[in-house]
Amino acid sequence: LSKFESIKEKQKVGILGGTFDPIHFAHLATAEFIRDKYNLDWIFFIPTGNPPHKLGIKTDKYDRYNMVLLATETNDDFIALDIEIERNKQTYTVDTLKDLKKMYPNAELYFITGADAICEVESWRGVKKNFEMATFIAATRPGISLLKAQEKIEQLERKYDTSIISVYVPSLDISSTYIREQIEAGKTVRYLMPEPVEKYMQRKDLYKQIEE
């Protein structure tokens, strides 16, 4: 919170939303690359509370948030925010952006997504409003066709009269789904996320198959 309070109005703020179930190195490396490339002052990591898209999440939202806290703690430019976690209704990006706009009316907001997420952005509530409130930055993601993502981006730009930054990020082929599957199968997930996150998962027995 102390880091958060020192944010000044004119600053450029990147936002990475996600279920972070769990957070991994690709989230962190992508955010850091974009922060550096576009001279962003801060990156907010905002884990979703009860996302309408992912009703199948089994992990407690506080566990997901705690792992984001652990993963971002060693980077002074990264801030874990619980504004969606603390909202008791279903959470939508559009409401989060409105809240951030209210808190920082003069900050420039950049919403970061992976190539998979930008392709789904039209299914989110308040698409047009989202594009008005933040500049979207779409990062490449291994396994997601660049051509398909690029076509989608151009289509969105025309339809919503907006511009979306698309950026090649030398990234990692890691997904939370893969991590969950590895753990369920009793396989290793070492070096896919910061160690404190790995330890947390172990301590809380996260993603282990529950015997019926």
Q: Which residues bind ligand ATP (CB under 6 A)?
A: 16, 18-21, 26-27, 30, 113-114, 116-117, 139, 141, 171-172, 174-177
Minimum distance from residue 9 beta carbon to ligand ATP (Å): 26
Amino acid letter, 122: E
Measured from the CB of residue 158, what is the shortest distance to ligand ATP in angstroms? 22
3-state SS assignment for residue 23:
coil
The two three-digit tokens of residue 94, written as one number: 């559009």
Query: At its nearest, how many Å lie between ligand ATP and the CB of residue 106?
Result: 26
Q: The tokens 């957070």 sit on which residue?
A: 23
Least distance in Å: CB of 105 to ligand ATP?
A: 25
Cross-strand pairs, 113: 138
What's the residue count for the chain?
A: 212
> Closest by alpha carbon to 61, among 116, 4, 20, 3?
20
Residue 144 CB, nearest distance to ligand ATP (Å)?
8
- Of 6 and 177, which CB lies nearer to ligand ATP in the complex structure? 177
Q: Which is nearer to ligand ATP, 107 or 115 (CB)?
A: 115
Give the whole-angstrom CA distance, residue 181 versus residue 17: 22
Residue for token pair 């706009």: 101
- For ligand ATP, the closer of residues 34 and 107 by Cβ is 34
Q: Which residue is nearest to ligand ATP (CB)?
A: 114
Amino acid present at 97: L
Minimum distance between the CB of residue 38 and ligand ATP, rounded to whole angstroms?
A: 16
Q: Which is nearer to ligand ATP, 107 or 112 (CB)?
A: 112
Distance CA 154, CA 82 (A): 33
Residue 105 or 170: the one with the smaller Cβ distance to ligand ATP is 170
Return the number of the residue (104 or 124) whose C-beta is nearest ligand ATP.
124
CA distance 9 to 11: 6
Exposure string for 13-29, b = 16+ CB within 10 A, e = fewer: bbbbbbbbbbbbbbbbb
- Judge whether 203 and 173 are in contact, CB under 8 Å: no
